[in-house]
């Protein structure tokens, strides 16, 4: 495979010197781009896109054709693992992801098995290989998965939830059952992310979308512990190249030190955290990724530039910052505003390196 022409993203995750702060955008291949919507229409559905390596490659590259982003991220979904376990992932029009067969009883939970990625998630590995080839070493490719706890939320609730009534009932009344499921999820995520790395992913990110809805004690026992196991089980390098990891617990601002301590290379920050305060708390333990409020992109170019400048200034001089939003980009974002942001980050960050 081609050597990386732009390795600023990898170097920043490893807290090595870079000439400017690298930037990518969560959900950068997404509905705010007209060309994405056109491809999705041809594919028929979100899963039609994600399960077809040609389409997945096409949409992964679309934002890179528009903007000088410093990383590509595999076009896929955080819930492919439970889909491979047989739960039946689907997307109802205008709603979030759902499962046809949510897990509510002990028998179904004890029947869960760790899927073999090459057998049941081959479409993802094919997409990784194809995207990696298409990138030709221009920028690194990020692989990803949902966290063990976040997968369990969807597996038990059957979709998104306001109150996580079903999983939290299990957590408090039958913690043994939930731990059993989380152990399987952790082993499945490790096998899946390692298969992505073997297929060509050059960094991996674990999205803990719902860990932030747990109590402090429950977060440590039911989410962070399994994130720790995942990070411990990942390839740290492949083909002689380091493969850095990023852990992002949305709403996890209270636990940043604890997340950094599980051994990931970088901690993702949502927009509620001051990145300078986060850096002082974490010290040299991990790099930071984030964390502009996605709503800033609804404003005007001058404001976008000023707000990006504030995040860079709050982080300050030195290594270990990957710029990103604090959450996925909104579908209502004017695409040009992403260009303004990427240029602002590249331009303004030179002063800090």
Q: Is 332 in the site for its own copies (CB under 8 A)?
A: yes
Q: In angstroms, give the least distance from the CB of 28 to its own copies.
A: 17
* CA torsion, ordered 66, 67, 70, 72, to nearest 10 deg: -30
Q: Does 303 bind its own copies (CB under 8 A)?
A: yes
Q: Among residues 88 and 316, whose Cβ is nearest to its own copies? A: 316
Per CB under 8 A, which region of 63-71, 132-140, 145-153, 215-223 contacts its own copies?
A: 215-223
Q: How far is CA 324 from CA 289, 309, 321, in A?
A: 6, 13, 9
- In angstroms, give the least distance from the CB of 282 to its own copies: 14
Contact between 301 and its own copies (CB under 8 A)? no
- 116 near 187, Cβ under 8 Å? no
The residue whose two tokens read 């693992």 is: 81
131, 87, 231, 196 alpha-carbon torsion, rounded to 10°: -20
Beta bridge partner(s), residue 89:
99
Binding map of its own copies across residues 163-202, x = CB under 8 A, - = no contact: xxx--xx-xxx-----------------------------
Specify the stretch interacting with its own copies by CB under 8 A; choose among 11-19, 30-38, 108-116, 288-296: 288-296
Quick count: other Cβ atoms within 10 Å of Cβ 306?
A: 14
Which residues are CB-neighbours of 154 under 8 A, at least 6 positions away? 79, 82, 97, 99, 146, 160
The DSSP bridge pattern shows strands 266-268 and 245-249 to be: parallel
Considering only the stretches 30-38, 66-74, 162-170, 337-345, report the one whose residues sit in contact with its own copies under the rule CB under 8 A.
Answer: 162-170
- Residue 80's Cβ-count burial label (10 Å; 0-12, 13-18, 19+) is buried
Residue 154 catalytic?
yes
Alpha-carbon distance of 8 to 12, in angstroms, equals 6
Asked whether position 159 contacts its own copies by CB under 8 A, the answer is: no
Closest CB to its own copies among 13 and 278? Answer: 278
322 touches its own copies by CB under 8 A: no
77 is catalytic: yes
Coil, strand or helix at 98: strand
Marked catalytic residue, from 11, 15, 40, 279: 40
Task: Tell me whether residue 40 is one of the annotated catalytic residues.
Answer: yes
Among 2, 38, 254, 351, binds its own copies (CB under 8 A): 254
Beta-carbon neighbour count of residue 17 at 10 Å? 10
Tell me if 294 contacts its own copies by CB under 8 A. yes
Catalytic residue of the set 11, 15, 27, 132: 27
3-state secondary structure of 337: helix
What's the closest the beta carbon of residue 303 comes to its own copies, in angstroms? 5
Residue whose CB is less far from its own copies, 119 or 176 = 176
15 is catalytic: no
Q: Tell me whether residue 192 is one of the annotated catalytic residues.
A: no
Whether residue 67 contacts residue 338, with contact meaning beta carbons closer than 8 Å, is answered with yes
**To the nearest whole angstrom, how small is the minimum distance from the Cβ of residue 51 to its own copies?**
27
Task: Name the H helices within 136-174.
Answer: 148-157, 165-173
Is the CB of 14 or the CB of 177 nearer to its own copies? 177
C-beta of 10 vs 288, nearer to its own copies: 288
Catalytic residue ranges: 27, 31, 40, 77, 154
Residues that bind its own copies (CB under 8 A): 163-165, 168-169, 171-173, 212-219, 251, 253-254, 271-274, 277, 293-296, 298-300, 303, 307, 310, 326, 330, 332
């Amino acid at each position: 495979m081609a050597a990386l022409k732009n390795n600023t993203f990898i170097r920043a995750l490893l807290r090595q010197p870079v000439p400017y702060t690298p930037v990518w955008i969560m959900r950068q291949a997404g509905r705010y781009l007209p060309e994405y919507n056109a491809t999705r229409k041809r594919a028929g559905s979100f899963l039609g896109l994600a399960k077809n390596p040609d389409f997945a490659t096409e949409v992964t590259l679309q934002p890179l054709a528009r903007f000088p982003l410093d990383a590509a991220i595999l076009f896929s979904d955080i819930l492919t693992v439970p889909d491979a376990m047989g739960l039946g992932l689907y997307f109802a029009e205008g709603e979030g992801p759902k499962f046809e067969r949510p897990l509510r009883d002990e028998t179904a939970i004890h029947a869960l098995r760790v899927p073999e990625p090459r057998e049941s998630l081959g479409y993802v590995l094919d997409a990784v290989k194809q995207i990696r080839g298409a990138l030709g070493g221009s920028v690194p490719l990020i692989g990803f998965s949902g966290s063990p706890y976040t997968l369990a939320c969807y597996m038990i609730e059957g979709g998104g939830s306001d109150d996580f009534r079903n999983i939290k009932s299990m957590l408090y009344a039958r913690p043994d059952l939930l731990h059993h499921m989380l152990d399987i999820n952790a082993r499945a995520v490790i096998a899946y992310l390692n298969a992505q790395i073997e297929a060509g992913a050059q960094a991996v990110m674990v999205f803990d979308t719902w860990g932030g809805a747990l109590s402090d004690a429950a977060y440590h026992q039911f989410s962070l512990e399994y994130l720790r196991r995942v990070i411990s089980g990942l390839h740290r390098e492949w083909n002689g190249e380091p493969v850095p990891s990023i852990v992002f617990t949305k709403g996890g601002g209270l636990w940043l030190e604890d997340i950094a301590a599980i051994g990931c290379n970088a901690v993702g920050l949502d927009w509620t955290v001051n990145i300078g305060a986060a850096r002082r708390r974490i010290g040299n333990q991990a790099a930071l990724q984030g964390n502009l409020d996605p709503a800033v992109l609804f404003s005007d170019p001058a404001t976008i530039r000023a707000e990006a400048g504030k995040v860079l200034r709050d982080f300050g001089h030195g290594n270990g910052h990957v710029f990103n939003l604090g959450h996925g980009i909104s579908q209502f974002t004017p695409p040009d505003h992403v260009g303004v942001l990427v240029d602002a980050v590249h331009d303004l960050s030179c002063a800090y390196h």
